[in-house]
Amino acid sequence: MKKAVFFDIDGTLIDGAHGRPHMSLETRRAIQQLQQAGHYTFIATGRPYGFLDPELLDFGFDGFVLMNGALVLMGNEVIYEKALPAASVDCICTACEAAGVEYLLEGRHHVYLKPEFRLLNEFYRGFAIRRDWFVERFDRTAVTTYKLEFLSEDHRGLQRIYDHFRQEPGMAGAMNVMEAFRHTHFELYSGTDTKGTGICHALEHLGMSPAQSYAFGDGENDLEMMETVGTALVMGNAKETLKEKAAHVVPSVADDGVAYGIDNFVLGC
């Protein structure tokens, strides 16, 4: 029976924050064995396409669930997409500029970031995100936006923007305190799309049932994914709230939990 396996990136395949910016040899070996056995492999991430490392793009994954499910790709084919309302994006950006809050727009392939937004440019350089897909000069009203990210030295102004716009109909958000950067960073995205809904679109496209699907993850935005797939494999470095959704808790990313899970619960079952 064919299987579809979905992988989160940060804290699952890699752990850049702790010096593991690339997939380990064991992780690569196990995923390649899945592919050689004829199973489907997908990335499922909150990241946009423009933040994907060439290692992931060139590895041979069958598809990508991006920006928390707002965009789903199968090869080069878009099988689902839902952009944010253009009027809402324009309103948010106008409010940000008035409050001194920097923003980044995430499109289908490119990301849009003004060069004068110093904090965000430093922020992404700190994560060693490649710049191939960054666009610096753009008309924001002409950009089809699926997700936004924000940063500011004015924490109160940032909080006001976040509190106001995450209450907009159809909008959701996540606030992240980035201690290493001494800043608070937040995201706004579709409130009706999740990694779980993205997986459903991928499975429907393949003509597969959720019972044939597996997912590896560690973060809060993996919750809906774990509730959707037939077998939820949660990393040992995940929070307890996510582990409660697990069919199996595998070792941490540092201990090649993905390889362990594939060997024992995907290929080994």
Please check whether residue 148 is in contact with residue 92, taking contact to mean a CB–CB distance below 8 angstroms: yes
Helices assigned H by DSSP within the chain: 25-36, 54-57, 86-99, 118-126, 155-165, 195-206, 223-228, 240-243, 257-261
Kindly state the average pLDDT of the residues 204-223.
Answer: 96
- What's the distance, CA 75 to chain centroid? 17
Question: What would the CATH number be for the domain defined by 4-81+193-266?
Answer: 3.40.50.1000
Predicted confidence (pLDDT) at residue 39 exceeds the cutoff of 80: yes
3.50.50.60, 3.30.70.270, 3.30.1240.10, 3.40.50.2300: CATH of 86-190: 3.30.1240.10
Model confidence at 269: pLDDT above 80: no
Q: What does pLDDT average to over the chain?
A: 93
Domain with CATH 3.30.1240.10 in the chain: 86-190
Q: Beta strands 40-44 and 63-66: pairing type?
A: parallel
Nearest by Cα to 140 from 190, 186, 94: 94
pTM for this prediction: 0.94
**In the predicted structure, residue 182 carries a pLDDT above the cut 70:** no
| Strand-by-strand arrangement of the 213-217 sheet | 77-81, 71-74, 63-66, 40-44, 4-7, 213-217, 231-235, 248-250
Number of H helices, E strands in the chain: 9, 14
Query: 44 and 199 in contact (C-beta within 8 Å)?
Result: yes
Segment 100-154, tens digit of pLDDT:
999 999 999 999 999 999 999 988 887 778 889 999 999 999 999 999 999 988 8
Could you tell me where in the chain the CATH 3.40.50.1000 domains are found?
A: 4-81+193-266
Report the pLDDT averaged over residues 160-164.
Answer: 88
**Alpha-carbon 97 to chain mean position:** 26
In tens, the pLDDT along 41-72 reads: 999 999 999 999 999 999 999 999 999 999 99
Angle at 47 between CA 267 and CA 247, to 5 degrees: 35
**Residue type present at position 249:** V
58, 70 in Cβ contact below 8 A? Answer: no
Check whether 79 has a pLDDT greater than 60.
Answer: yes
- Tell me the β-bridge partners of 135: 112
